[in-house]
Amino acid sequence: MSKRGFYSRPLSRLSTSRRRFLQLSSAAMTGAVLTNCARNIGGSTSTDGTPAASGSGDNTLHIYSWSVYVDDEMLADFEEKTGIQVIADIYDSNETMLAKLQAGGGGQYGVIYPSDYMLEQMIEMEMLLAIDKEQVPDLADLLPQWQSPPYDPGNEYSIPYTWGTTGLVYNAAELGEELTDWDYLWDNRQELSRKMTLLNDVREVMGFTLKMLGFSNSTENPQEIEAAFEMLKELKPSLSAFTTDGWRDRIIPGDILIAHAYSVDALDVIAENSDLDYIVPASGATVWTDGIAIPKTAPNVEAAYAWMNYVLDPESASAVVSRLRLATPNEKTFDMLPSELKEDKRLFPTDAVLAKCEALANVGDSIDLYDRLWTQLTSA
């Protein structure tokens, strides 16, 4: 296990199943009703809506991305500027992307957008091309914390693109007080019974409980992991569900009052309902990063660099992150944001809060223990 010393102040992210709605929709809408699992898993390694055309001539670039990071306007603008035609495929979870690349079905892709923990795994498995820093001028503009992120020291294989946190979104009007820390869930679990949801993600849920107990969210110490599990067992009867997206429709009408959520989703929902608020709890939370990387198998590296330069350009990047309410690791991009975003502590927490936050790092074989306890928690 490659634990690195400087993990003490990390900044990154995990989301095995953020954007689950998209995933469910794409699978079910295309008629692939998920009845037979074995068959479904085989098929869902490519839930992308638009299968890439096979032609990968010199002037074509295939990118494999989260749905939010590409839109038709960008593609048209890029083609106009560079003459390179881009074909974008969409994935809905890091694991889906990894599975497709590992199964050899991703040979055409020149650019991918893995999250931090996935970058760490892919670097370990030697799946990524080392970045030629001559070709990407923007690295010096990265904020100090992202100059050498723990998942990819020195940004050798990836360039940080966006980041955010995993905290609590809550109905401030209904609760009548400001949340400060995770233990609020436990202290008020009687009154909040069936009015809370947590993410359907073992690492995020175990991770915040570990932080609350004062441990690392990526601990490999079985006693600490068990302790977090015991805490969650107490909380579980009061939970409505473990859901990554389902909370959105329910927190707006007030069916639930608190949801464990990614900042990007939380801020999106808050824009629809001003009763809601979002906090990064005081004991610390997950900080996650989405990076941009080039797979080793990329057929058209030149075009991949052209795309990287295009999307990392402060003007284009600031448009994307302000539209999506994501945080940017790039100083120039940050400077171009409207001041209400720059000053929004929910989007850019203070340094003091960030210092308590931690990326989810790989936990090696301990993942078996996490997964077993998670199964126990969600089935018992």
Partner 1 sequence: MLDALKYRLGKLVEPLVLLLPAGVWLLLLLVVPTLMILELSLLPDFRLGQAPPDYGLGNYLKIFEPIYLLVIFRSVFFAVICTLLCLLLGFPVAYWIALMAPDRWRNLLLLGFVLPLWTSSLLRSYAWITILRPTGVLNSTLGAIGLPPIEILNTQVSVVLGLAYNFLPYMVLILYASLEKLDRRLLEAAADLGAPPPQVFMKVTVPQSLPGIAAGSLLVFITSLGDFVVPELLGGASSMTMARLIYNQFLGASRNWGFGSGLSMLLILAVSAAIALLLKYGDRKAETF
Instruction: Kindly tell me which residue out of 139, 143, 227, 241 binds partner 1, with binding defined by CB under 8 A.
Output: 241
What's the chain's length in residues?
A: 380
The residue count for binding partner 1 (CB under 8 A) is 56
Of 194 and 345, CB closest to partner 1: 194
Closest approach of Cβ 129 to partner 1, in Å? Answer: 17
Per the CB < 8 A criterion, the answer to whether 294 and 111 are in contact is yes
Q: Is 14 in the site for partner 1 (CB under 8 A)?
A: yes
Q: Is 17 in the site for partner 1 (CB under 8 A)?
A: yes
Q: Is 38 in the site for partner 1 (CB under 8 A)?
A: yes
Contact range with partner 1 by CB under 8 A, out of 36-44, 108-116, 138-146, 340-348: 36-44
Mark residue 176 as left, alpha or beta (left: phi above 0; alpha: psi -120 to 50; beta: remaining): left
Q: Is 194 in the site for partner 1 (CB under 8 A)?
A: yes
Of 152 and 201, CB closest to partner 1: 201
Q: Is 345 in the site for partner 1 (CB under 8 A)?
A: no
> Distance between alpha carbon 325 and the CA centroid of its chain, in Å?
13
CA–CA separation, 233 and 173 (whole Å): 29
According to CB under 8 A, which residues from 242 to 271 bind partner 1? 242, 246, 249-250, 253-255
Closest approach of Cβ 33 to partner 1, in Å? Answer: 5
Q: Is 125 in the site for partner 1 (CB under 8 A)?
A: yes
Q: Is 31 in the site for partner 1 (CB under 8 A)?
A: yes
Q: Is 350 in the site for partner 1 (CB under 8 A)?
A: no
CA–CA separation, 317 and 328 (whole Å): 8
For the beta carbon of residue 221, count every other beta carbon within 10 angstroms: 12
Residue 106 one-letter amino acid: G
Q: Is 209 in the site for partner 1 (CB under 8 A)?
A: no
Binding residues for partner 1, per CB under 8 A?
A: 14, 16-17, 24-25, 28-29, 31, 33-42, 44, 93, 95-96, 98-99, 102-103, 121, 125, 194, 198, 201-203, 236-237, 239-242, 246, 249-250, 253-255, 367-368, 370-372, 374-376, 378-380
